[in-house]
Structures are given as structure tokens and as C-alpha cells.
Amino acid sequence: MSPRNRILGYVRGATASRPRVPHPGRFDGRFLVGDDRPPMERFAEQFTAAGGEVERFVDTEAAVRWLGEFTRGYESVTVGATVPGRLRPALPSTCPDLAPLGVSAAVAAVAETGSLVLDARDGRRTQLLAPTHVVFVREQDIHQTLVGAMVTLQPDLPSALGLHSGPSKSADIGQILVRGVHGPGRIVAAVIREAGPV
């Protein structure tokens, strides 16, 4: 018999006479963290508290202007595959492990946890390897709860989603907090208010 079938056999034998316990239901509004302020406000508060930065723009035009300023001083960039043309910095493109700056587009954000939801289809190395990471997200894609974001995204999952909720950090050296250990030490959530595609 294969290990698979033996393990499943042990499991069946172990639980055969045990009373079955039902699933307690969705982790829904009953478990809301804190209050129900507008998602943008809560997202900004949580993301900033974790050490991230938040920039808000009324429209793409304003975001483009800010990006021009922000990227001054950088020599090259790695840009996610789904970042729209207008939001791609006017810098030479380089491979993610050499780039000083990464620019991605998030598929969603979460207010209660202050998280950006990044999709593998945008490119994982761009999300992870540059020391500074700028992530564009539409304000309308900020969900109040994590479960809300997950239920929305579930029908079309990529090979991996990454929830990024602040800069990379560690307290493994003498319990002292250090940023930028493996992932980006600086992360900016650039939130665009206007409806429609970023």
C-alpha cells in the first residue's frame, strides 16, 4: 500500500468514531477589526503604522506628475507587466536584482490589515528584489476586510498572490527592528482615486 493510502487509512481509523464538528461559517463582519471608517482612511492608517508610505492622487494625471518627481535621482527601474504605460517611469529598464527601484500595480488592497495584494502576473521579482518599491492601486480596489478581498479574487487566482503590508523587517538581531532585510526596505502605496483602469 502507498504511503498516501496508509496515511488516509490511519486518518479514517482515528476519526471514525469521533463526533463531527461543523464549520463555524465565514470570517465575516462579526469579526471586523476596529471601526467601519472609509477603507482608504483605514488602509492609510494601517499601512503607515507598519512603516509604509502612502501617496493619494485624484487622478492618473496627478500620479504621473508625482512619479516624475519621485523617480528623479534613480538611474534605472524594474516595472511590473501590468503597470499601465503612463505610469511607467521614464528610466532605463533593468533586471529586478540590479534595479534600485521597482514599480508594480496591485490588484487590490485591504483596509483592516493595511495590505497591498500583488499578483504573480505582474512579476514577482519586481515586487521583491529592489530596495525601494512603488505600488499603484485604485482606491476603488481597497476592500474593507481581508476576507472581502479574498472572496473577490478567488475566481481568478494566479500562481501566487503576495500580501505586502509594509517594508521588509526583522528583529532577529538582538530584538532590534531592522528594515529592508530581504524585501524592499521602503514601500510606497500610490493610491489613485479616479474610476476605471489605473
Partner 1 sequence: MSERTRPSDYGAESARIVRDDPGMRTSITGAVRSKDEKRQAAWAQIDAGAWRDWARDVKTHVLTHLDRYLEEAEDALLRNGVTVHWAETAAQACDVVARIAADHDARRVVKAKSMLTEEIGLNESLEGAGLEVRETDLGEYIIQLLDEPPSHIVGPSLHRSLEDCRQLFHERFGTPLDASPEALAATARRILRNDFLEADLGVSGANFLAADTGTIALIENEGNIRISTSIPPVHVAMVGIEKLVPRFEDLAGLIQLTARSATGQGIGNYVSLIQGPRRPGERDGPDEVHVVFVDNGRTRLLADEHAWEVLRCVRCGACLNTCPVYRQTGGHAYGWAYSGPIGAILAPGILGLEAAMPLPFASSLCGACAEVCPVRIPIPELLVYWRERAVEEGLTPTVDGVAMKSWAALAEHPGAFALASDLVGALPLERTGRKLPVLRGWMGERAAPVPSPERFLSTSSGKEEST
Verify binding: residue 169, partner 1, rule CB under 8 A: yes
Closest separation in Å from C-beta 89 to partner 1: 18
The verdict on 88 binding partner 1 (CB under 8 A) reads no
Smallest gap from residue 139 Cβ to partner 1 (A):
20
Using alpha carbons, select from 147, 142, 99, 146 the residue that is nearest to residue 123.
99
Residue of 37, 65, 86, 182 that binds partner 1 (CB under 8 A): 182
Q: Which of residues 3-32 bind partner 1 (CB under 8 A)?
A: 3-4, 6-8, 10-15, 18-24, 26-27, 30-31
Nearer Cβ to partner 1, position 132 or 145?
A: 145
Quick check: 2 binds partner 1 (CB under 8 A)? yes
CB of 67 to partner 1, least distance (A): 22
Choose, by CB under 8 A, the member of 72, 175, 196, 197 that binds partner 1: 175
Residue 86 main-chain phi, psi, to 5 deg: -65, -25
Say if residue 66 is exposed, middle or buried (CB neighbours under 10 Å; 0-12, 13-18, 19+). Answer: middle
Q: By CB under 8 A, what part of segment 99-158 binds partner 1?
A: 112-115, 120-121, 123-125, 127-129, 145-147, 150-151, 154, 157-158
Identify whether the C-beta of residue 127 lies closer than 8 Å to the C-beta of residue 160: no
> Rounded to the nearest whole angstrom, what is the least distance from the CB of residue 96 to partner 1 in the complex?
8
Please report, in angstroms and rounded to a whole number, the separation of the first and last CA atoms in the chain: 55
- Give the separation between CA 77 and CA 67, rounded to whole angstroms: 12
Q: How far apart are CA 36 and CA 144, in angstroms?
A: 8
* Cα-Cα-Cα-Cα dihedral sign, residues 179, 182, 185, 190: negative
Shortest approach of partner 1 to residue 190 CB, angstroms?
19
Q: Distance between CA atoms of 44 and 55, rounded to whole angstroms?
A: 9
Of 57-65, 68-76, 172-180, 189-197, the segment contacting partner 1 by CB under 8 A is: 172-180
Among 130, 165, 188, 189, binds partner 1 (CB under 8 A): 165
Q: Is 39 in the site for partner 1 (CB under 8 A)?
A: no
Which stretch of DSSP H or E encloses residue 116?
A: strand 115-119
